[in-house]
Amino acid sequence: MIPAPFTTSSPAGHHVSAHRQPCGSDASAITDGVIEEKEKRVSRRTVIAAAIAAASLVFGASFAAANSTGGNLKGAGSTFVFPLVSQWQANYKNAQITYGSVGSGAGIAAITARTVDFGASDAPLTKDQFAACKGCEQIPWALSSTSIPYNVPGVSYGLRLTGPILANIYLGHITKWNNGAIKKINPGVKLPDLKITPVYRSDGSGTSWNFTDYLSRVSREWKSKVGVGTQPSFPTGIGGKGSSGLAGVVSRTDGAIGYVDEAYSLKNGFKVARIQNRAGVFQLPGLGGIKGAVGTIHKVPSNGALSIVNPPKTQKRAYPICTFTYVIVPLKSSKAATLKQFISWAITGGQKYAMPLQFYPLPKVVQTADKAFVRKIHS
């Protein structure tokens, strides 16, 4: 079990999560408990790295043959959910599950073409995608946060950023790390005169959808000029394919900033930003921030689509860039029994593998709705 996040007071009078070592003037506030949590974070990084490596071996050996019998399932899609799906692959005993971590857009295309048994996407299906998929449904089966990693030499974990600042970075308006707007909310932090290099996903990505959905909610200019999408036209920056590709660009580029699920940030040992929520709290990604955000979920719509992006200020501990991720399945399938059994396990027993990978267990209200969705699948 991962403990609740420790907190400390920020100079601005707001409370902040301290899963990671704070930067600048907050560094002196580190307690033994925070140091212990950082050590546990290193352990979680090892778990995540091992899970991804093991799943890659399984995928490479068996993906091509996995669709040959009714006892096997082949899926493809979201890179965001890959660390968790890899644990499901390793621990589910009733069928062989193989999964291609190819991005949400490719996963939606694959299930639409019926070249896989299930797709996975962090972006809910649009009306057009539902129509093209011809009898598919989406089931929320995992929940995590999109972290904002940065590579700024000399600056430690937990740099504060606001939504408008983040939007202005990706719009190309803020181009240096020592910009006055960043300095103002990070007193005591020595920010270098270093070019900011925004990094984005070059492929169709549900993580991009989650990130641009957030930016559209905090910046009118972003909403009008770029908008929300799985593969939007970013005004500036460098593209990386997949979560691993984006992470690679961030890690080798001084001054880079990106967006990737928290599991990949942990795996790569990235420094990540604290993002200000609507209550004024600068919150880190991870389990504490996700818990704060899911408090807004009281009902699941009939199409399964959920949003906990930028929750109201009543959710004081919420991290503002969290997302559900979905399994997309045909209502009619020759493998209906196998699909139903696997998804039923993933949304219940399989949730025990979530927390070590920085995924939050599905709330009961979501599990209940999911079970009803699963019952609709038939042969």
pLDDT tens-place string over residues 83-98: 999 999 999 999 999 9
pLDDT, tens digit, for every residue of 238-269? Answer: 999 999 999 999 999 999 999 999 989 999 99
* Whether residue 258 sits in one domain with residue 158: yes
Mean pLDDT, the chain, whole residue set = 87
Give me the long-range contacts of 5-12 (CB less than 8 A, separation at least 24): 5/37, 5/284, 5/286, 5/287, 5/288, 5/289, 6/31, 6/33, 6/34, 6/37, 8/34, 10/160, 10/282, 11/187, 11/188, 12/185
Query: Is 301 inside a domain boundary?
Result: no
First and final CA of the chain: distance in angstroms? 39
* Whether residue 157 sits in one domain with residue 279: yes
Query: Is 200 inside a domain boundary?
Result: yes
* Whether residue 157 sits in one domain with residue 12: yes
* Whether residue 164 sits in one domain with residue 135: no
* Whether residue 14 sits in one domain with residue 157: yes
Query: Is 313 inside a domain boundary?
Result: no
* Whether residue 172 sits in one domain with residue 156: yes
209: Cβ–Cβ under 8 A, 6 or more apart, which residues? 104, 122, 123, 228, 229, 230
- CA–CA distance from 194 to each of 151, 176, 272 (Å)? 11, 5, 17
Domain containing 122: what range? 45-144+324-375
Give strand ranges (E) for 183-246. Answer: 197-201, 238-240
Distance CA 268, CA 180 (A): 29
* Whether residue 156 sits in one domain with residue 265: yes
Position 16 scores a pLDDT of: 35
* Whether residue 287 sits in one domain with residue 151: yes
pLDDT, tens digit, for every residue of 337-351? Answer: 999 999 999 999 999
* Whether residue 160 sits in one domain with residue 14: yes
Position 71 scores a pLDDT of: 83
pLDDT at 191 over 70: yes
pLDDT, tens digit, for every residue of 109-144? Answer: 999 999 999 999 999 999 999 999 999 999 999 999
Query: Is 254 inside a domain boundary?
Result: yes
Q: Which of 294, 312, 339 represents a domain boundary (last residue)?
A: 294
pLDDT at 63 over 80: no
Position 102 scores a pLDDT of: 95
Position 46 scores a pLDDT of: 59
* Whether residue 277 sits in one domain with residue 155: yes
Query: Is 58 inside a domain boundary?
Result: yes
Q: Which of 242, 276, 294 represents a domain boundary (last residue)?
A: 294
pLDDT, tens digit, for every residue of 1-14? Answer: 333 322 223 333 33
Q: How many domains does the chain have?
A: 2
Query: Is 309 inside a domain boundary?
Result: no
pLDDT, tens digit, for every residue of 274-331? Answer: 999 999 999 999 999 999 999 999 999 999 999 999 999 999 999 999 999 999 999 9
Q: What are the residues facing 332 on neighbouring strands? A: 378
* Whether residue 152 sits in one domain with residue 106: no
Query: Is 38 inside a domain boundary?
Result: no
* Whether residue 156 sits in one domain with residue 14: yes
Q: Which of 245, 276, 294 represents a domain boundary (last residue)?
A: 294
DSSP string computed for 20-81: SPPPGGGGGG--HHHHHHHHHHHHHHHHHHHHHHHHHHHHHHHTTTTTSSTTEEEEEE-STT
Query: Is 311 inside a domain boundary?
Result: no
Instruction: Give the CATH number for residue 283.
Output: 3.40.190.10
pLDDT at 42 over 80: no
Q: What are the residues facing 366 on neighbouring strands? A: none
